[in-house]
Amino acid sequence: MTNFKAALKKINTFILDVDGVLTDGTVLVLPDGEQVRQFNIKDGYALQLAVKLGYHIEIISGGTSESVRNRLNGLGIEHVNLACKDKMAVFNKCIEKSNLSPENILYVGDDIPDYEVMKAVGLACSPSDAAEEIKSISHYVSPKKGGKGCIRDILEQTMKIQGKWFDANQFDAETAKGIGHQFGW
């Protein structure tokens, strides 16, 4: 079994599923047919910080919602792969296109479509409410549920281990104001 904390030191890429990971898996269908998902603001903060700190982030989702793409692009995530029927094929294209090393990738998934990719990366993680099959292959199961801070938990641990998390000497009122404005605070 991999020592999770030690393995975090070599992570430079996060690949994430959306439904059940960045959201709680609930899809609200509006009368016009639009499907709406709810994201966690603390996950969003950690994601935008990871982008600013130079981590490579990819999204691989079977979902097709352009509002999801808009949310993630707004956090600075450029690589948003939606409508993925074969996540392993998309994963292989991602690593080839961006010259990524699987051993430096942390993947967060919650259900059976994530299984194959999770077996191919350096670290596989899941939220506490993931499918049992997924938790059984995870190097780390967050105590947080999908859409309820799971991503913040995992990214924060990674950045802390690498000495990139919060530095009070570099954090100022202008930074806080810019972050708050981005998130509507």
As its CATH architecture, domain 4-183 has 3-Layer(aba) Sandwich (3.40)
More confident residue, 178 or 20: 20
Q: Average of pLDDT values for 2-12?
A: 92
Q: Average of pLDDT values for 108-123?
A: 98
Check: CB of residue 100 under 8 Å from CB of residue 56.
yes
* CB-count exposure of residue 13 (10 Å: 0-12, 13-18, 19+): buried
* CB-count exposure of residue 50 (10 Å: 0-12, 13-18, 19+): buried
User: d(Cα 80, Cα 103) in Å, to the nearest integer?
Assistant: 21
List, for residues 39-61, the tens digit of each pLDDT value.
Answer: 999 999 999 999 999 999 999 99
Q: How confident is the model at residue 34 (pLDDT cuts 50, 70, 90)?
A: confident
* Domain definitions of the chain by residue range: 4-183
* CB-count exposure of residue 161 (10 Å: 0-12, 13-18, 19+): middle
User: d(Cα 54, Cα 120) in Å, to the nearest integer?
Assistant: 23
Element (H, E) at 89: helix 87-97
Confidence check: pLDDT of 175 > 60: no
Q: Average of pLDDT values for 70-80?
A: 96
CA 174 to chain centre: 26
